[in-house]
Amino acid sequence: MLYFSKFRIFLIIFLSLFFIIIASSNIFKFSNNLLDKKINLGLDLQGGSYLLLEIDNSPVIEQRLQNFTITIRNYFKKQNIRIKNIKIENQNFIFSVDEEFKQKVLDTLMNEESEINPYYERFKSHQFEVIEENNFFRVSYSRQGIVELKTSSQDQALEIVRRRIDEIGTNEPNIIKRGNDRILVELPGLDDPMRIKSLLGKTANLSFRFVTNENDDSFGTERLKFENNSDEAIVSKRIIMSGDNLLDAQPRMDSQTNETIVTFTLDRVGAKRFGKATASGIGKRLAIVLDGKIISAPVIRDTIASGSGQISGGFTFQSATDLALLLRSGALPAPLNIIEERTVGPDLGKDSIKAGIIALIIGFILVIVFILYKYKFFGLITNITLVVNLIVLLGILTLFEATLTLPGIAGIILTVGMAVDANVLIFERIKEELKNEKNNLIAFDSGYSKSRTAILDANITTLLAAIILFFMGSGPIKGFSLTLGIGIFTTLFSVYFIARLLTVTYVSKNKNKENLI
């Protein structure tokens, strides 16, 4: 029916004004938090940095095999099975056994019926595969095991990369997976990516180990360099505590020395280990090792049982801030290599915005002229509706602080075309109804009612396509599908509420007039 209750009229006006005010916050500043929102511009519009990172899983595979080697060697030792010629080569764990032990080793690794078999599940899930030839065993990750390991590493790396970038406060970063061993990072508005590259290029594996002069340490030793100079120290391979035990890390100024330091807080397990190690190691040097380099190696003066400590190493405040950030965000599961890097200048973004706005204006003007010529006064109603439709769409994008990309602008332009299409369908249907119905009110009501199915069908199928693009696509495709999807709802709102309300008002006052349209 061509009837609008006072409540419905109030609701239409309220919603329209609300989104118009929200959209205006992109131009004017408001003190209210709800109104102080803006549409964020994507990388292609405001410029910024594009980094494609590749995860190097080789160290992870080597480390997992190393751990597996130690575990399985200790197990066989308890079973009085002597394994020989142990080595890790080309991501394979290789060993040999005497003929008398061969079947027992095979049963341990492969036989589900083995009485004590802690390893069968790993092979049953196809994580590992084993090849035996002439009493030599070769254990390696299977293809499925490699895929699972890469997927796990990528998920962990994605979360840690997100944490590190969020800590810096970069505006609307886009961090997504690419394949099963790559991560794409888009940072709009960031012209100098050096700090980000430095933070993402560090694995941040932290460990606390004793400095020793004894080469016969029961845990083994290794020679490591200091990060800030060429000095070296021999440290034990025994890890007293790792970065996994850190709860928090913050940069601070030491009030006594005016030196920039990094303070850290440990969890319960870490505090217990740290307290025990410092109690037994008074007088020794404790090396704080980050990614294979010694940050500092202070002498332990007293037991530290509080669960907190500090790291000093001639830091600037910026370097201390970055170190604290790395420690808080956690260690990457594997090193990240930057294999592609691009910086988009803001001038290119301005050109894109300018080109998009020009395209929108030209298309808008052509549509306005055509609609005015074709439908006269109702063309004016359609044009008013188009303007409100665009503002409401921008208001919704602003309310959710969405990121607008160049494909997003294309989605807005397409929305204009869809809105016009809906109005054309309605008015052409009204023309058909007026040929058989002399009552203008009935003809207009029938025109709106009978065209509804065609308009809904067209918009619903487009909406389904937009939803599929949003969930299956990435980056710019998501931006296009998002604006297109929102545009469908704003188009239906503008056509069936705003345009219809204006049409009802005009037709009610001119119900006896001939040739209304």
Chain segment 440-484, per-residue pLDDT in tens = 888 888 888 888 899 999 899 999 999 998 888 766 788 888 899
Q: Classify 48 as helix, strand or coil.
A: strand
What's at 200, amino acid-wise? Answer: L
Phi, psi of 71 (to 5 degrees): -65, -50
**pLDDT for 116:** 43
> In the structure encoding, which two tokens stand for residue 314, read together?
């001639």
Phi, psi of 146 (to 5 degrees): -65, -45
Kindly tell me if the per-residue pLDDT of 269 is higher than 70.
yes
User: Options 3.30.1360.200, 3.40.640.10, 3.20.20.70, 1.10.3210.10; which CATH number does 206-328 get?
Assistant: 3.30.1360.200
Q: What are the distances in angstroms from CA 66 to CA 59, 84, 143, 264, 513?
A: 10, 16, 19, 30, 90
pLDDT in tens, 100-130: 888 877 777 765 444 444 554 544 445 777 8
Q: Classify 128 as helix, strand or coil.
A: strand
CB-CB contact of 390 with 416 (8 Å) = yes
Architecture of domain 6-44+345-509: Up-down Bundle (1.20)
CB-CB contact of 443 with 465 (8 Å) = no
Rounded Cα–Cα distance for residues 486 and 69 (Å): 56
Average pLDDT, whole number, for the chain?
Answer: 82
Contacts of 54 (CB under 8 A, 6+ apart): 181, 182, 336, 337, 338, 339
What's at 171, amino acid-wise? Answer: N
> In the structure encoding, which two tokens stand for residue 418, read together?
């869809």
* Beta-ladder partners of 116: none
Kindly tell me if the per-residue pLDDT of 2 is higher than 70.
no
Q: How confident is the model at residue 14 (pLDDT cuts 50, 70, 90)?
A: very high
Kindly tell me if the per-residue pLDDT of 167 is higher than 60.
yes
Domain positions in the chain: 6-44+345-509, 58-145, 206-328
Rounded Cα–Cα distance for residues 469 and 372 (Å): 35
Kindly tell me if the per-residue pLDDT of 516 is higher than 80.
no
Q: What pTM did the predictor assign?
A: 0.64
> In the structure encoding, which two tokens stand for residue 100, read together?
């008398």
The CA-CA-CA angle for residues 182, 188, 191, to 5°, reads 100
Kindly tell me if the per-residue pLDDT of 338 is higher than 80.
yes
DSSP state of 298: P
CB-CB contact of 135 with 97 (8 Å) = yes
Rounded Cα–Cα distance for residues 505 and 515 (Å): 17
CB-CB contact of 46 with 408 (8 Å) = no
pLDDT in tens, 352-383: 777 777 887 887 788 888 888 888 888 898 88
pLDDT in tens, 46-93: 778 888 999 998 888 887 787 777 777 777 887 788 888 888 888 888
